[in-house]
Structure 1
């Protein structure tokens, strides 16, 4: 037991230090309120950014989950960026050594070269390029120090502070904070487990293999060099799929690349254990060999087959401007919690909402490149409006449906850049799995 004492003492010190840091920042925010500043969504966002890792992630959760949080908070947290100052390579090397240099091995036994300059640095992990002795180029996703301890401590403090938040900011209306915090804890801690992310990648690769898909690829995981805190993957080289000029170096038809991406993602909804829920511009790449790279499987979602069919029906109805059918599909998605819904009234509200968005959405006609702040704002506005209409009629959107819907909206913006003449739901190049093929396909992949 004595051998565990230094580790226990270090853990206890880290917890106490984190509590002290949190109390200090919270105290400064309380002082601002005492001086007369309004404790609104903007102040909370500023406080979260000062608190770092966990709270930035919670801010992103707020921003992407309008079904759980008031509109003003969802909008405020859109500016909660997840970029951090890079850690020194000395620290990264120590983590790599602790995780991979075991049983008498040293890092030089596994890696011929590790680039000390990071490719990227975010709140949870830092990414470095490396090369194995056999010549394989890889990337090392290295978890930052004490991330799990910080998150566990922060979420514990957040539980304790809930009632204070309710008193200070009643507009947040935390009617059932425990389930919300539990979901945040589950999602966030899953992102700190790179073994789980590696499993998500393997699930996706199995789906690609079973479905015979050779157009799309995900990084290969090196299991012997992967732990809960280090994820070693093959490095993919390519260009962003929002740069049509760069894409034409490696493909003749960017629109067909978009169709192949959509076909793969739609098929994964039915045939994979989970779907990639964060395919923004940074996580999609056209490789130099012409294939399409799906990156970063830290955020995935799951949706029941019947809910997906209703979702597709809703989207098709929206495309056809059939708001009565759109409303009925929303009810069929089992999001009403047993309440009787006035479908006709819901249809009228949906029609008014969508017509208003179409009239105001400058992105549809401005030709602004994808991924600008204005377009991100438009994406979120549309999501908020759909959720807002649903709430008024007693419809509660599950989190994974929000993930799925936002991903569809991301694809819509990709298409406006790469394939402005393509219709996601009626173009012959885009194949959406139907009900008839569902049973046999699911049976095949489950064997």
Structure 2
């Protein structure tokens, strides 16, 4: 049983919580809440899905419910669409359809936000500022403007009060995750509280436009001198936490270009653009360890000179060195058809459930490698392969790190965007040569030197600290203050049983002595205390024997 008062995140937002429960019940998605037995929501949970929803799949009803719940739910759904290992491939595919179009704020509201963030009204900061936005999403809206020097810019302005709304909804999400982790045993494996905390961090980072401004500058520095790609130039003096001013890129979106008919000459151009897009993202991932996490066709522009312009850099991913090397090893294993190597990397990357059947996992991975190893490069379905990998790890209860799950989604979306440009394009054609690039980079003089330098630092720190630590140990030994602590994991139960048995045996022997000595009081010439002690010892011994049998250590497992 759970009480509302035990979950402060829910108690602070009880009205909104009840509204969420009502919408979930409307779409037939309130079983989770019912399982937690929150008594004050019983009336909200009685109604099944309405008649107009009965023909829809559960995944479709989930998408519709999240759309009705608003901005935060849409954002959460979009993040969950990158985690098929958590929600399953069907739900992930459905949640990927969520759109975050939102009605724009009124012009006077936008002006108040700009003035509060930048210290002056838009007409003072800009030579021209268009009140009508060119786009409005869940978090902010975008306005065209012009600087005093004539530069054309776009100004991204956060919706008024959206942060308070999102924080309240995130508090509710954290409360629901806590209820789920405490009350539903089947969900504990998926760590709903940790997943909710990760989503909270991701969404709150998107609310900070100054972080997006830093991301844009980071990408621009990484690709300085690369004529294939451009990122909008930012204006830090005209940007703040809720306002971002950046260069307006003049181009055609990949989505618009894909909708236009293509001549043979255009088909060749689109193939080149698709390869460039794929190659740029692979450079982000395997070279920079820092990548754009939302490469859908609307975020990629085709600029003059066939340069690619990348927009909306609020959602990014970072890979640590260990994860990158494991991903590279997985790629090398797939390229060489090494099922055992791929299994090892899956185990190394993921969080394993208790009692994982490694033999069954290895058999499934071997079957996966056999299914895809024989496919021609041009016909290789990378999106399908990634979906199969997600289904495989989910089937075995393995949880992937959020970064790896995002990468799988990035590859799938990137292949979709590339195929929108050129239907016959396969991302694997660009990905396969990276196996050779990985090996060349690993054995390059720079990489070898970097590894030696890291190793030197570790060994140097060890040699510097060893004499001091050894002297400290000897000094404590001379003074008699050297403590050695042995931590025997898993022995607590055994030690408890041993003590229990000794106490039982001592009670039995002592009671037998009392019986034989006829210690009064006597009943039918038998010592009463002796008889009771023997009876208690026999009962304790039978209880101990029963506990040992239940554990399987006697007459059970060897």
The TM-score range, normalised by the shorter chain, is 0.7 to 0.9
Aligned partner of 2:238 in structure 1 is 225
CA–CA separation in structure 2 for the residues paired with 1:307 and 1:78: 25
* Greater relative CO (CA pairs within 8 A, separation 6+): 1
Q: 1:260 to 1:322 in 2, by over 3 A?
A: same
Aligned partner of 1:241 in structure 2 is 254
- Confirm or deny that 1:301 pairs with 2:317: yes
Aligned partner of 1:205 in structure 2 is 220
Aligned partner of 1:74 in structure 2 is 92
Tell me the TM-score normalised to structure 2 length: 0.62
Q: Is the 8 A contact 2:232 2:311 kept in 1?
A: yes
Worse-superposed segment, 189-198 or 111-120:
111-120
Aligned partner of 2:46 in structure 1 is 34
Q: Deviations over 1:90-128 (max 9, x none)?
A: 32222222222x2xx432122122223322211111111
Aligned partner of 1:261 in structure 2 is 277
- CA drift of 1:24 comes to 3.0
Q: Deviations over 1:399-418 (max 9, x none)?
A: 10111122222333344443
Q: Is the 8 A contact 2:22 2:45 kept in 1?
A: no
Q: Is the 8 A contact 1:277 1:404 kept in 2?
A: yes
Q: 1:112 to 1:354 in 2, by over 3 A?
A: farther
CA–CA separation in structure 2 for the residues paired with 1:131 and 1:426: 44
Q: Is the 8 A contact 2:189 2:397 kept in 1?
A: no
- CA drift of 1:179 comes to 1.6
- The 5 A counterparts of 1:111-260 are 111-162=126-177, 176-209=191-224, 212-241=225-254, 243=257, 253-260=269-276
CA–CA separation in structure 1 for the residues paired with 2:331 and 2:386: 13
Q: How many residues are matched?
A: 408
- CA drift of 1:216 comes to 1.5
Worse-superposed segment, 315-324 or 89-98:
315-324
Which of 408, 411, 415 pairs up with 2:411?
A: 408
Aligned partner of 2:15 in structure 1 is 20
CA–CA separation in structure 2 for the residues paired with 1:398 and 1:327: 16
Q: 1:347 to 1:276 in 2, by over 3 A?
A: same
For structure 1, list consecutive stretches of 5 or more residues without a partner in the other structure.
Answer: 1-14, 366-374
CA–CA separation in structure 1 for the residues paired with 2:270 and 2:449: 29
Give the greater-gyration-radius structure (CA): 2
Q: Is the 8 A contact 1:309 1:435 kept in 2?
A: no
Q: 1:116 to 1:18 in 2, by over 3 A?
A: farther
Q: Deviations over 1:74-99 (max 9, x none)?
A: 35533432222233333222222222
Please state which structure has a larger fraction of its residues in helix: 2
Q: Is the 8 A contact 2:181 2:192 kept in 1?
A: no
Which of 292, 309, 315 pairs up with 2:308?
A: 292
Which of 416, 434, 437 pairs up with 2:441?
A: 434
3-state DSSP class of the match of 1:84?
coil
Q: 1:271 to 1:344 in 2, by over 3 A?
A: same
3-state DSSP class of the match of 2:81?
helix
CA–CA separation in structure 1 for the residues paired with 2:68 and 2:320: 38
Worse-superposed segment, 200-209 or 80-89:
80-89
- CA drift of 1:34 comes to 0.8
Aligned partner of 1:386 in structure 2 is 389
CA–CA separation in structure 1 for the residues paired with 2:450 and 2:254: 30
Aligned partner of 1:88 in structure 2 is 106
3-state DSSP class of the match of 1:424?
helix
CA–CA separation in structure 2 for the residues paired with 1:33 and 1:136: 56
Aligned partner of 2:430 in structure 1 is 424
Q: Is the 8 A contact 1:271 1:441 kept in 2?
A: no
- CA drift of 1:46 comes to 3.5
Q: Is the 8 A contact 2:254 2:297 kept in 1?
A: yes
Q: 1:16 to 1:169 in 2, by over 3 A?
A: closer
Q: 1:88 to 1:106 in 2, by over 3 A?
A: closer
For structure 2, list consecutive stretches of 5 or more residues without a partner in the other structure.
Answer: 1-9, 26-42, 452-558
Q: Is the 8 A contact 1:18 1:150 kept in 2?
A: no
Q: Is the 8 A contact 1:130 1:137 kept in 2?
A: yes
Which of 292, 295, 313 pairs up with 1:279?
A: 295
